[in-house]
Copies of this chain bind each other. A is one copy, B any other.
C-alpha cells in the first residue's frame, strides 16, 4: 500500500506538473497565436489604408499595439506578412464556401457560384492590394486550382451523369473557373454589380451561352 501510495503520489505529482507545464505551454501558444492574429488584422487595416508599398512594419506594429521586435518573431518581412494574410483569407474564404454549399440539400452550380461571389465580394479590398503588391501569376493559378477542384465535385454530383457525357470534366472545370475568376477580377476596379447580380450574370452565361448570331453571321 505504502509503495502503491508512493507510486500514486509520484505519478500524480508527475501528472500535475506535466499538466501545469502543458497548460503553460498552451497558454504561451495561445498568446502567440493571438499576437499573430492581431498582427495580421492590423496588417490588413494598414495595407487597405496606405496601400502595399507605403505600408511599413512600424505602421503594422503600432496598429497592433506591439513592439517592432514582436513582428519579427512572426514574420521575416512585410512581404511574408502580406502573403500569410492572403493565404489565410483565402483559406477562410474556401472554408466559408464549402460550409455554405454543403448546407444546401442539392449542391448545384447555382449555389456554388452565388456562394463564391458572395464571400469573395466581402474580401475584395484584399485583391486590389495583392495586385498592387506585385502578386505572382503562380499564386492566382493556385487559387484557380482550388475553384476548379470544387467545380469538379459539383460536376461529379450532377444527378444525371449522362448529361456530362462527352465533356472533359477537368477542362470544363477550368473554363468555368475562368468565368468566375474574371467576375472577381472585375471588382479590382469597380464595386458594381454586387455579388448577387454578378452571380446571375455568370450563371446566365454558363446556363444559356451567348446569342447564336455571334457565332455565324447569316448575311
For chain A, give the interface size range: 35 or more
Whether, in the assembled complex, A1 has its beta carbon less than 8 Å from a beta carbon of chain B, the answer is no
Residue numbers in B under 8 Å from A175 (CB-CB): 179, 182-183, 201-202, 205
CB <8 Å contact, B216 and A108: yes
- How many protomers of this protein does the assembly include? 2
Whether, in the assembled complex, A5 has its beta carbon less than 8 Å from a beta carbon of chain B, the answer is no
* 9-residue interface stretch from A8-16, A41-49, A117-125, A130-138: A130-138
Whether, in the assembled complex, A208 has its beta carbon less than 8 Å from a beta carbon of chain B, the answer is yes
Whether, in the assembled complex, A172 has its beta carbon less than 8 Å from a beta carbon of chain B, the answer is yes
| 30 CB < 8 A contacts A-B | A106-B219, A108-B214, A109-B210, A109-B214, A130-B137, A137-B137, A137-B139, A141-B185, A144-B182, A154-B214, A155-B214, A158-B211, A160-B213, A163-B213, A164-B211, A172-B210, A175-B179, A175-B183, A175-B201, A176-B179, A176-B205, A177-B182, A178-B185, A203-B215, A206-B210, A206-B215, A207-B209, A207-B210, A207-B212, A208-B209
CB <8 Å contact, A209 and B206: yes
Interface of A is mostly: helix
Q: Beta-carbon contacts of A181-219 to B below 8 Å, as 1s and 0s? A: 111011010000100000001110111111111111111
Whether, in the assembled complex, A159 has its beta carbon less than 8 Å from a beta carbon of chain B, the answer is yes
Whether, in the assembled complex, A74 has its beta carbon less than 8 Å from a beta carbon of chain B, the answer is no
